[in-house]
Structure 1
Amino acid sequence: MSGPVKDQAHSRLGRMVNGIEETAIAVLLGLMTLVTFVNVVLRYGFNSSLIWGLELTLVLFAWLVLFGISYAFKITAHLGVDALLNAVSSRPRRVLSLLAAVVCLVYAALMLKGAWDYWAPFAGLDATTGRWFPTGFADSRDQAWYETEQIPMPDWLRFIEPIFNQGESYEKLPRFIPYFMLPFGCALILFRILQASWRVLTGQQESLIVSHEAEDAVEDVAALNRED
């Protein structure tokens, strides 16, 4: 385990977030594989299909992408161009890295605001006011009755109907459930960028992006050639 990842393990919150991300990624991949496999078997073996299978797979994939973005910050796997950083000495490199961290934090905060403002009406909640950063809350049109196209409503979720749909029954899964991943995923991304920024500030790593996939691949090929 690398140094930055090992340091995160000492934080109780970090361990909890790690567990959520790693478990969610594994479950999402497993569910996507299972639904797709079952659909293929039904289509070619029984001339049938799960009519909601494609929509569910798309939702799971969208969730997987957002979890993957925050998880990549955790393991410092995001790719980036560091030619400028490598061209300067350590002190300017640290300043540039901190500047990049501030830009990323602002961008993540804007994403979180936008994600909340988009999701909130679907959950019957209020969106925030303010063009760039939240300045309060404004009454939003209640869209909690909006449903997905094909995904059926599980019976074990019927308890939410009096809360979100004024007692009316959902025929399909309400949209605020799959859409919840938008603000949750953006909050995870913001949390991970805060962690990475702190590591840069405290000198535990040089930049937010430390993955060099191309260089690693070249080194792997060179090592294989040496072995031959």
Structure 2
Amino acid sequence: MKVLDHLEEYLIALLMAAATLITFTAVVHRYMSGVDIPAIQDTLIKINMSWAQELTIYLFVWMAKFGAAYGVRSGIHVGVDVLVNRLEPKNQKIFVMISLLSGALFTGIVGTLGANFVWGMSQTDQTSSDLEVPMWIVYMAIPLGSYLMSFRFLQVAWHFLKSGELPKHDHAHVEGLDVEEAVDAASDHDANQKVTEKL
């Protein structure tokens, strides 16, 4: 599980970094091509970056599909649980399990439909317009991301069944930053500031 968790996180980060870098390079290329310096302008005009927008879109689609699975695992997805929270604990558990299993079923169905679509697409010669990549490779994000999301729903359901806990995302938490250390550092800074003002 740790290997899959890290692979998922690294893949999302890699896709996001690649999309950002390609977009930045394409924008700089576009504006630098308009600079009235003949040597630079001639060199940049020869570089074809018409593929950048298409690749960025595909990278963001893949990132969104795998990011959705990460959201299920880490509890980031928004949920409306006002009615569920008003139920008795026993009934709450039943409704939470129904919703998790429904999520697993739905994403499993989407993954299967996506796999059938990709299989049909792989039997054709259809390619993307700029990159000329086979379109079935682009659409592989649907079954892979959906099946991973379905697996994450089942994983959360199993954990909830055993422990009664759902993953919760703390929006105030910053990775690598300890809250107590941050509070101590802030109070030390305030104390130093007061001493400096008195001097």
TM-score after normalising by structure 1: 0.66
Deviation sequence 1:178-205 (CA, Å, 0-9, x none): 2111111111101111101101211241
Do 1:79 and 1:211's aligned partners in 2 also have CA atoms closer than 8 Å?
A: no
Instruction: Look up the match of 2:109.
Output: 110
Q: Secondary structure at the match of 1:78?
A: coil
Paired residue type of 1:63: W
Higher Cα radius of gyration? 2
Do 2:104 and 2:149's aligned partners in 1 also have CA atoms closer than 8 Å?
A: no
Instruction: Look up the match of 2:37.
Output: none
**Match of residue 129, structure 2, among 122, 130, 149:** 149
TM-score after normalising by structure 2: 0.75
CA distance in 2, matches of 1:121, 1:77: 34
**Match of residue 9, structure 2, among 22, 29, 32:** 22
Instruction: Look up the match of 1:35.
Output: 22
Instruction: Look up the match of 1:166.
Output: none
* Greater fraction helix: 2
Instruction: Look up the match of 2:139.
Output: 179
Task: Select between 59-68 and 173-182 the one with higher mean Cα deviation.
Answer: 173-182
Cα RMSD for the two superposed structures: 2.2
Instruction: Look up the match of 1:191.
Output: 151
CA distance in 2, matches of 1:30, 1:150: 21
Do 1:79 and 1:212's aligned partners in 2 also have CA atoms closer than 8 Å?
A: no
- Compute the displacement of 1:212 (Å): 7.9
CA distance in 2, matches of 1:15, 1:120: 30
Structure 1: runs of 5+ lacking an equivalent: 1-13, 124-141, 152-171, 217-226
Q: Percent of aligned positions with the same letter in both sequences? A: 26
Instruction: Look up the match of 2:67.
Output: 68
Q: Secondary structure at the match of 1:31?
A: helix
